[in-house]
Structure 1
Amino acid sequence: MARILALDYGKVRTGIAVTDELQLIASGLTTVETKELLSFIGDYLKNEKVERFVVGLPKQMDNTPSESEALIQPFLKKLTAAFPKIPIERQDERFTSKMAVQSMVQSGMKKKKRQDKALVDEISATLILQAYLNRF
Structure 2
Amino acid sequence: MPRVMAFDYGTKRIGVAVTDPLQMIATGLDTIHPNQIIDFLKKYLQTEQVETFVVGEPKQMDNTPSQSAIHVKGFVNLLQKTFSDIPIELLDERFTSKMASAAILAGGVKKAGRQNKALVDTVSAVILLQSWMERKAFR
User: Shorter-chain TM-score category?
Assistant: over 0.9
Tell me which stretches of 4 or more aligned residues in structure 1 moved more than 2 Å.
none
Cα deviations by residue, 1:84-109 (Å, 9 ceiling, x for unpaired)? 00000011110000110101111111
TM-score, scaled to structure 2: 0.96
Q: CA deviation at 1:63?
A: 0.5
1:65 aligns with 2:35: no
Is 1:101 the equivalent of 2:101? yes
User: Any gaps of 5 or more consecutive residues in structure 1?
Assistant: none
TM-score with structure 1 setting the length: 0.98
The residue aligned with 1:14 is 14
Spell out, residue by residue over 1:22-59, the C-alpha distance to the aligned partner (whole angstroms, 9 max, x if none). Answer: 11111100101111011111110001000010000111
> Over aligned residue pairs, what C-alpha RMSD do you find?
0.6
Structure 2 unmatched ranges of 5 or more: none
What's the secondary structure of 1:124's corresponding residue?
Answer: helix
Which secondary structure does the structure 1 equivalent of 2:45 belong to? helix
8 Å contact 1:12–1:35 — kept in the other structure? no
Count of aligned pairs? 136
Paired AA for residue 2 in structure 2: A
Distance 1:29 1:95 in 2: 20
What percentage of residue pairs aligned between the two structures are identical?
51
